[in-house]
Amino acid sequence: MSVVRRILSRVRAGVAAVVRTTTALGATAAAVAVGALVAGRLLGWRELTTLAATAAVLLPIAALFLLGRVQLDASISVQPSRVVTGERAMGRLRLANGGRRTLRHLRVELPVGRSVAVFSPPSLPAGDEHDELFVVPTQRRAVIPVGPVRSVQGDPLGLYRRVRQWSAVEEIYVHPRTVRMDGITAGLLRDLEGQPTNALSPSDVAFHTLRDYVPGDDRRHVHWKSSAKLGTLQVRQYVDTRRSHVAVLLSLDLDQYADAEEFELAVSCAASVAQQAARDEQTLSVFAGDVRLVAGRGRSLLDRFSELEPGPGAGGVASAVRALHRLAPDASVAVACTGSRATVAGLQACFSSLHAGLAAVAFVADASAEPAVRRVGSTAFVSVPHLDTLSRNLGAVAA
């Protein structure tokens, strides 16, 4: 009985394996076979009976292509793993036969983003290796998953398909294009010792002027030489300073952009400003819609920009401003990046809630506009038709 049970167990396992590997086409062929057999018997049509018999023979023959065990060692390497949009990225797929038998008629699939690369390597004797090269498309900013490597066994008709995975997934970060903005470091954004304000202070690091002593002043701030000359006590008057805290606000609302290219230009503007602020060691906060990005330095910062996905009705500039109020109320500079469909009145309404001491700039990505800077109230609006004009335009704002 134990032998019979083992045989039945193996048969059930085999049938279950065939069922798992049956494709939609294979299931349709099986259903047609059963339907044709029943209809042929009831109606007496020999043609239907012949069709059922043909399918009944074809299905088990096709299942024979699933026989044989594949033992594969696979690895993926992509160099470089981080590229700028449009740069070349190459990948290498290494396959090794980890079994004892020669692998023949091997079919290997490698998902690359939304597409699938198919390889048909030559026969691999036991222990042999084979390399395949592939190119990763980097025309658009994205995080591209590569893998896992999977082997595919199946018949030529596609009735059965057995898939096994042999590697982990690797990721390639396609960063947005950015430009250096060194022309603005002496103006709007760069202020390593603190940015002066108009608020007077009895003590700080930025000297402003001398004034007459009044009761209650700290005597440590008395300027004795000037007091001796004038015959009255003079004290140093300082001005409040603060270290620049740059907030980059990016709209993810597709309704504010004319097309996808305009959104990519806005992402590049935001990434360029964020990169320059990080390079100048400014305090930095980046908001994409109502989400605050974890803004690191260098590649990790650009990685976050690679992950961004827009959507209709997603968080716009208004959502980013609300997040700024909530999470970074001490920001001293706000740079909003949006598209040509965002109105000046709407942006002004967003900026009106910002505190009076905050400098606001709006970059409007618009390929059909001329490079221009105009001020509406206390806000500077910058038209950016091309990324290369960004540094010059913001330099004009900072001047």
Q: Per residue in 52-93, pLDDT tens?
A: 888 888 888 887 777 777 788 888 988 888 999 988 888 899
**The predicted structure's pLDDT at residue 395:** 53
**CA-closest candidate to residue 158, choices 44, 282, 305, 59:** 59
- CB neighbours (10 Å) of residue 399? 11
Q: Give yes or no for residue 47 having a pLDDT over 90.
A: no
Q: Domain 182-188+243-398 falls in which CATH fold?
A: Rossmann fold (3.40.50)
Q: Which has the higher per-residue pLDDT, 108 or 219?
A: 108
Separation between Cα atoms, residue 177 and residue 390, nearest integer Å: 12
Tokens of 203: 């003590």
**pLDDT class for 17, splitting at 50, 70, 90?**
low
* 293 contacts: CB under 8 Å, gap ≥ 6: 286, 287, 304, 305
Q: Give yes or no for residue 186 having a pLDDT over 70.
A: no
**The predicted structure's pLDDT at residue 14:** 64
Question: Which residues make up the CATH 2.60.40.10 domain(s) of the chain?
Answer: 72-175
pLDDT above 90 covers what percent of the chain? Answer: 14
- CB neighbours (10 Å) of residue 149? 24
Q: Give yes or no for residue 179 having a pLDDT over 80.
A: yes
Q: Which has the higher per-residue pLDDT, 372 or 250?
A: 250
Q: What is the mean pLDDT of residues 241-264?
A: 85
Q: What is the mean pLDDT of residues 222-239?
A: 79
Q: Give yes or no for residue 325 having a pLDDT over 60.
A: yes
- Say what the alpha-carbon torsion angle 266, 267, 268, 272 is, to the nearest 10 degrees: 100
Q: Give yes or no for residue 110 having a pLDDT over 60.
A: yes
Q: Give yes or no for residue 281 having a pLDDT over 60.
A: yes
**The predicted structure's pLDDT at residue 268:** 93
Q: Which has the higher per-residue pLDDT, 387 or 358?
A: 387
pTM of the model: 0.71
Task: Give the range with max mean pLDDT: 160-164, 257-261, 365-369.
Answer: 257-261
Tokens of 389: 């004009």
> Which of 11-20, 308-317, 322-331, 343-352 comes out lowest in average pLDDT?
11-20
Class of domain 72-175: mainly beta
**The predicted structure's pLDDT at residue 270:** 92
Cis peptide before 148 (omega within 30 of 0): yes
Q: Which has the higher per-residue pLDDT, 105 or 253?
A: 253
Question: Which residues make up the CATH 3.40.50.410 domain(s) of the chain?
Answer: 182-188+243-398
Tokens of 397: 């704002």
Tokens of 320: 């980013």
Q: What is the mean pLDDT of residues 227-231?
A: 84
Q: What is the mean pLDDT of residues 298-322?
A: 85
Q: Give yes or no for residue 119 having a pLDDT over 60.
A: yes
- CB neighbours (10 Å) of residue 160? 23
